């Protein structure tokens, strides 16, 4: 009996090692920053991540009037006309943009319709604090598996009238159960992205971002890993002494404050 247990443990370790190699032996993993108008400080920091890790990086922007600066083109900045995404069903994901496409809709469109050459994608809002160029890489080392990495995974099995659940019930074409999480920073597998695309294609819309990833993961029986390294809150005033270089934090809306915290963290 003991020998069978040892064999199973060895097989599991081999699988985990394989998936870790998948992260670090190819360039098929992306970091996608969601922004209204990205700052140059953000751009410079992303260049450092790209230079020192194996991640490809893109920025997807909200504001169609924003003129993409002539930096050095090392980081791809993506701007879509809203109608392109909306006509494909990529709209309605943000609470205050009913039937419109925002940067998250556009990012999902890009990685489902124009660039499908990847294994995993991090979607990160610009006001999420990334303490170090290796923070994301180190999180991926800890969690090489999973279709969705999120800060939580709260499943409901009956209709509720608190929070935004009435809106979700109105928006979605799915029956219970529903699930939610803060999604300021999440990691998605290709299977997770396919679930999003299937829904957009079938129903010509998406639904509230804080529920769509976790809910589709439940319905499509995908693997969801809530991880403590994603410290995501709607409102919080983070102090330097609370920060850990191995975690991501939301919100720190001041980019100048993010830069200062990086200098001070050791």
Determine what percent of the chain is predicted with pLDDT higher than 70.
90
Residue 1 is predicted with a pLDDT of 64
Q: Which domains does the chain have, with CATH numbers?
A: 2-264 (3.90.550)
Non-local CB neighbours of 221 within 8 Å, separated by 6+ positions: none
Q: How confident is the model at residue 23 (pLDDT cuts 50, 70, 90)?
A: very low
pLDDT tens for each residue of 228-263: 999 999 999 999 999 999 999 999 999 999 999 999
Q: Which of 56, 53, 109, 57 is nearest to 81 (CA)?
A: 109
Note whether 124 and 188 are within 8 A (CB). no
| Average pLDDT over every residue of 207-218 | 98
Residue 113 pLDDT exceeds 70:
yes
- H-helix or E-strand spanning residue 149: strand 148-150
Q: What is the sign of the dihedral through the CA atoms of 108, 111, 112 and 113?
A: positive
Residue 22 confidence (pLDDT) above 80: no
Q: List pLDDT tens digits, range 47-62.
A: 999 999 999 999 999 9
> What's residue 112's pLDDT?
98
Query: Which residues are registered as beta bridge partners of 224?
Result: 148
């Amino acid at each position: 009996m003991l020998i069978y247990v040892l064999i199973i443990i060895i097989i599991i370790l081999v699988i985990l090692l394989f998936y870790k190699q998948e992260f670090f032996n190819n360039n098929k993993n992306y970091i996608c920053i969601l922004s209204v108008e990205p700052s140059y400080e953000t751009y410079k920091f992303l260049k450092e991540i790209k230079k020192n890790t194996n991640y490809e990086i893109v920025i997807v922007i909200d504001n169609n009037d924003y003129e993409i600066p002539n930096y050095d083109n090392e980081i791809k900045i993506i701007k879509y006309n809203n109608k392109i995404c909306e006509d494909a069903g990529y709209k309605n994901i943000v609470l205050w943009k009913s039937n419109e496409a925002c940067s998250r809709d556009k990012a999902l469109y890009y990685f489902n319709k124009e660039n499908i050459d990847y294994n995993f994608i991090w979607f990160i809002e610009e006001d999420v604090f990334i303490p170090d160029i290796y923070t994301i890489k180190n999180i991926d080392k800890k969690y090489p598996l999973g279709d969705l990495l999120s800060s939580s995974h709260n499943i409901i099995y009956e209709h509720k009238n608190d929070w935004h659940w009435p809106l979700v019930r109105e928006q979605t074409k799915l029956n219970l159960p529903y699930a939610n999480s803060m999604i300021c920073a999440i990691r998605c597998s290709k299977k997770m992205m396919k679930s999003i695309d299937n829904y957009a294609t079938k129903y010509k819309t998406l639904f509230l971002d804080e529920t769509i990833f976790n809910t589709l993961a439940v319905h499509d029986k995908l693997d969801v890993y809530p991880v403590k390294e994603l410290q995501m809150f709607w409102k919080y005033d983070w102090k330097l002494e609370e920060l850990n270089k191995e975690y991501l934090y939301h919100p720190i809306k001041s980019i100048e404050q993010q830069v200062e915290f990086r200098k001070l963290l050791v």
